[in-house]
Amino acid sequence: MHTPDLDHLDLAILSCLQEDARTIAETIGTKVGLSAAAVQRRIKRLRESGVIEREVAVLSPRALGLTMTFVVLVEMERENLAMLDAFRRQVLAEDNVQQCYYVTGTADFVLVVTAEDMAGFETFTRRMFFENPNVRHFTTSVVMDRVKVGLTLPLSGGA
C-alpha cells in the first residue's frame, strides 16, 4: 500500500479511469500510446497496489429523491478516544452521512449529509446529535448549490 512510482503513462491512465471507469483498455491505449494489453496490465497493478481504491457508480441524488444536502460541524463534549471511535462507527453506519472528516480546530467533525427533505434531516439530527450526550454542539449549513462534487484528484501529469 506504500507509494509505488507512477510514470506519466500511469497518470494518463488514471486520468481516464477517474473520468470514466468503463473506458476500455483499447481506447486508453490509443490515447496514451500503448497496446490494450499493456494498459490492462498497468490497470491491474494500479488496482493491486491500491492506487485505484475502488470503482463505483455515481448516482444522481435528484433521481433518487434526495433533494437536500447539508454541511454539519460537530463539536464533541470531551475528546477521548473511545468516544471518538464510537462516533466514527455511528457515522459509518448512518446512510444519511455521505462524508465525514475528523478535523483540527473548533469543530471536531465535518459531515456532509443528504436527506429527502427537512423532516428527514431533523429525524437524522435527533438520532445522531440530540440523543448523543457526547455531542456538545453542532451547526448546520444548508447546501444551496453543489458547486463542485468530485472524487477527481489532480494528477500532475494529467492528460
Partner DNA sequence: TATGAAATTGAAGCAAA
Partner DNA sequence: TTTGCTTCAATTTCATA
Which residues are at the interface with its own copies (CB under 8 A)? Answer: 1, 3-4, 6, 14, 17-22, 49-66, 69, 71, 88, 91-92, 95-105, 107, 109-110, 112, 114, 139-155, 158
Residue 129 contacts residue 138 (beta carbons within 8 Å): yes
24 binds, among its own copies, DNA, none (CB under 5 to 8 A by kind): DNA
Q: Is 12 in the site for DNA (CB under 7 A)?
A: no
- Tell me whether residue 33 or residue 150 sits nearer to its own copies (CB atom): 150
- Tell me whether residue 65 or residue 133 sits nearer to its own copies (CB atom): 65
Q: Is 43 in the site for DNA (CB under 7 A)?
A: yes
Q: How far is CA 72 from CA 7, 122, 139, 158, in A?
A: 39, 12, 6, 33
Residue 108 CB, shortest distance to its own copies, in Å, is: 9
Q: Pick from 112, 130, 131, 128: which is nearest to 68 by CA?
A: 112
Q: Is 159 in the site for DNA (CB under 7 A)?
A: no
Report the residue from 6, 13, 34, 107 that binds DNA according to the rule CB under 7 A. 34
Distance of alpha carbon 20 from alpha carbon 55, whole angstroms: 10
Q: Is 24 in the site for DNA (CB under 7 A)?
A: yes
Neighbours of 59 (CB within 10 A): 9
Which range binds DNA by CB under 7 A, 22-30, 68-76, 90-98, 101-109? Answer: 22-30
Residue 6 exposure: Cα atoms within 13 Å on the Cβ side? 23
**SS3 category, 96:** coil
- Tell me whether residue 55 or residue 85 sits nearer to DNA (CB atom): 55
**102 backbone dihedrals φ, ψ, rounded to 5°:** -95, 120
